[in-house]
Amino acid sequence: MDADGGSIVAGVLARRGVRSLFTLCGGHISPILVASKRLGIRVVDVRDEATAVFAADATARLEGSPAAAAVTAGPGVTNSVTALVNARLAQSPVVLLGGATATLLRGRGALQDIDAMALVRPHVKWAQRANRRREVAPLLEEAFDAARRGVPGPVFLELPVDLLYPEATVRRLYRLESPGGPEGLLARLRRRLFARYVTRLFAPASAPPRPARPEDRNALLPGAAAVREAASILRRSERPVLLAGSQAARAPREVPRLIEAIERLGCPAYLSGMARGLLGRGHPLQLRHRRNRALAEADAVVLAGVPCDFRLEYGRHIGREAKMIAANLDAADLRRNLRPTVAARADPARFLAALAEELGAPGAAASSPGVATARSAWLETLRRRDRERDEEIDRLAREPAPPLSPLLLCQAIERALAEDSIVVADGGDFVATASYIVRPRRPLSWLDPGPFGTLGIGAGFALGAKLARPSSEVWILYGDGSAGYSLMEVDTFVRHGLGVIAVIANDGAWMQIARDQAAILGDDVGTVLRRTDYHAVAEGWGGRGLVLDRPDRAGEVLAEAREIARSGVPAVVNAHLGRTEFRKGSIAL
């Protein structure tokens, strides 16, 4: 007998190297889950569908290949949309399998029957619906290819329930078995028509499923002319600045080559998104503060996978006389808001590698001794500004902000992080504060939502990270607002034996909004929270909860949280914070 649709799906997932399938169960997708488990794929069940998609997103970012989630029909799909949009804007290759009502019952008022394609299609790269069982494997193979082709992103495949269950079960559910007694002409005709329909539904494929394609190392290679022009600009540049973003670090296997290229270019480098940690904690070329001032003074700016969107103030801080070199997979992002002097639609990591090769050996990038001297002085100026800003932050951290300053807490976290730590950033004001202080130790060790700025990614990203790198410490930096979206996934961590450390910055407010809303509009309405006992909530879900409300206990409590997590139990630190003016005026438009 031919395999049921669930087994077909599981077979493709296995061939594509999927090790974990993230899901929230539902009758529409049960055959996929059972068959996946049978083939050795770890089925990771969560408490909210968005978490499943966030977990797949994080897995895809860390492993550099498409990851998968499966959600049931109707609300299962609708609950996934925010996470799908987040993956799309972050260019993360996620394959979402969505359950659906039986093909014969579509549009007839069946349970959880919605037009999922109309809802999802605008937010993904590719969306298709299987209408026959023989279409399942080819469409799923195509989905994996589409997710990583060109600009990576999420894809959606809708799988009606009658394609997934065994044919005998579907015939029984459609009541096609003989009733065992007399029946009227109309009933016999109806049963025969249904039988013919089901026979067509399960008609075998005319050819075996095609084998998985070898991974596309990206067809968008840098053009020689663009590389030469960029090299010419950099040779003459006295004040270059390099900005590298998530797209530059999208392929883990290419990271060593990318690091080598950045070091050979010798430009002061500011790193963002998944590129944080690329150069480790204290690399001499890495700068962290006063980026806008550096951009305003630079005579050459290299944007490697970084668009001129709101994160760069739409390009307003880049000096008018600066030569801009941009490499991006996305043609729209390449010229967003500013037109570069050199625009290379190419993989940013490969562009930097080609540029470094064109410029030659390290130290040979300057056109003259005078340029080399000026560039050295420029780098020292930027380093001095970094030191001054760090000293300022250290001074502000010592100012009283009872019960505990957020700056001081971030400094304690920075000291506590292990070298193999992965940091998941899920929050507004607290996470933005942490970005000034907490330094990722190695490449691909900082996970934030990306340009969509989505709150609620914390538990899903941590789940994907812990499964992708089981031996690493995984930290979630939560605001108390964002913790409300996914703290229930402590239950998921407990059930799956995953020791994750979550630090909740409990300041009793949506502080990112409250600080400026109250100042500008004179009212804090909608921004006030309770100082909830999050540690007790964690205990209720089966984790361990700790309270941190004194500066002198920060190191001790974080060390205890690490020890708990090493035992395979999630630890939640409820850190009671005071309020500061550190990020006053930071509202973004």
Under the banding of pLDDT at 50, 70 and 90, the label for residue 364 is low
Under the banding of pLDDT at 50, 70 and 90, the label for residue 361 is low
Strands laid side by side in the 67-71 sheet:
42-45, 20-23, 67-71, 94-100, 155-160, 126-129
Instruction: Average the pLDDT over 581-586 and give the result.
Output: 76
Phi-psi region of 175 (alpha: psi -120 to 50; beta: other; left: phi over 0): left
Phi-psi region of 44 (alpha: psi -120 to 50; beta: other; left: phi over 0): beta
Instruction: Average the pLDDT over 232-240 and give the result.
Output: 97
> Is it the case that residue 589 has pLDDT exceeding 70?
no
CATH code matching the domain that covers 398-576, chosen among 3.40.50.300, 3.40.50.720, 3.90.25.10, 3.40.50.970: 3.40.50.970
Report the distance separating Cα 154 and Cα 57, nearest Å.
9
Instruction: Average the pLDDT over 155-165 and give the result.
Output: 96
> What pLDDT does residue 303 have?
98
For residue 476, which phi and psi values (nearest 5 degrees)? Answer: -105, 125
Instruction: Average the pLDDT over 558-582 and give the result.
Output: 96
β-strand 422-426 against 342-345: which pairing, if any? unpaired
Under the banding of pLDDT at 50, 70 and 90, the label for residue 187 is low
Under the banding of pLDDT at 50, 70 and 90, the label for residue 110 is confident
Yes or no: say if 424 and 461 are a contact pair by the CB < 8 Å rule: yes
**Residue appearing with tokens 């013919």:** 196
Q: In terms of Cα–Cα distance, which of 452, 494, 501 is closest to 478? A: 501
> What pLDDT does residue 259 have?
97
> What pLDDT does residue 106 have?
87
Instruction: Average the pLDDT over 108-121 and give the result.
Output: 91
> What pLDDT does residue 1 have?
46
Encoding tokens for residue 454? 């989505």
Report the distance separating Cα 91 and Cα 89, nearest Å.
5
CATH code matching the domain that covers 224-382, chosen among 3.40.50.1220, 3.40.50.970, 3.30.360.10, 3.40.50.300: 3.40.50.1220
> What pLDDT does residue 211 have?
59
Instruction: Average the pLDDT over 4-25 and give the result.
Output: 97
On the CB side of 304, how many CA atoms lie within 13 Å of its CA?
Answer: 34
Under the banding of pLDDT at 50, 70 and 90, the label for residue 109 is confident
Report the distance separating Cα 72 and Cα 75, nearest Å.
7
Report the distance separating Cα 249 and Cα 231, nearest Å.
21
Beta strands in 154-246 (DSSP E): 155-160, 240-244
> What pLDDT does residue 588 have?
56
> What pLDDT does residue 183 have?
63
Of 368-372, 497-501, 529-533, the one with minimum mean pLDDT is 368-372
Q: Exposure of 260 by Cβ count < 10 A (0-12 exposed, 13-18 middle, 19+ buried)? A: middle
Yes or no: say if 588 and 512 are a contact pair by the CB < 8 Å rule: no
Of 281-285, 413-417, 584-588, the one with minimum mean pLDDT is 584-588
CATH of segment(s) 5-201: 3.40.50.970
Strands laid side by side in the 300-304 sheet:
286-287, 269-271, 240-244, 300-304, 323-328, 342-345
For residue range 287-327, what is the model confidence (pLDDT) as tens digits? 999 999 999 999 999 999 999 999 999 999 999 999 999 99
Instruction: Average the pLDDT over 489-499 and give the result.
Output: 98
> Is it the case that residue 393 has pLDDT exceeding 80?
yes
Q: Where are the domains of the chain?
A: 5-201, 224-382, 398-576
> What pLDDT does residue 181 have?
56
Average pLDDT along the chain:
93
**H/E stretch holding 294:** helix 291-297
> Is it the case that residue 190 has pLDDT exceeding 80?
no
> Is it the case that residue 150 has pLDDT exceeding 80?
yes
> What pLDDT does residue 200 have?
87
Residue type, position 306, single letter: V
What is the C-alpha R_g of the chain?
Answer: 26
Report the distance separating Cα 256 and Cα 261, nearest Å.
9
β-strand 571-576 against 126-129: which pairing, if any? unpaired
CB burial string 447-462: b at 16+ within 10 A, e below: bbbbbeebbbbbbbbb
For residue range 435-474, what is the model confidence (pLDDT) as tens digits? 999 999 999 999 999 999 999 999 999 999 999 999 999 9
Residue 276 burial (CB count, 10 A): 27
Instruction: Average the pLDDT over 127-136 and give the result.
Output: 96
One fold for 5-201 and 398-576: yes
> Is it the case that residue 185 has pLDDT exceeding 80?
no
Encoding tokens for residue 69? 């989630």
* Torsion over CA: 562, 563, 568, 572 (sign): negative
Under the banding of pLDDT at 50, 70 and 90, the label for residue 120 is very high
pTM recorded for the entire structure: 0.94
Concatenated DSSP letters of 46-87? -SSHHHHHHHHHHHHHHHSS-EEEEE-STHHHHTTHHHHHHH
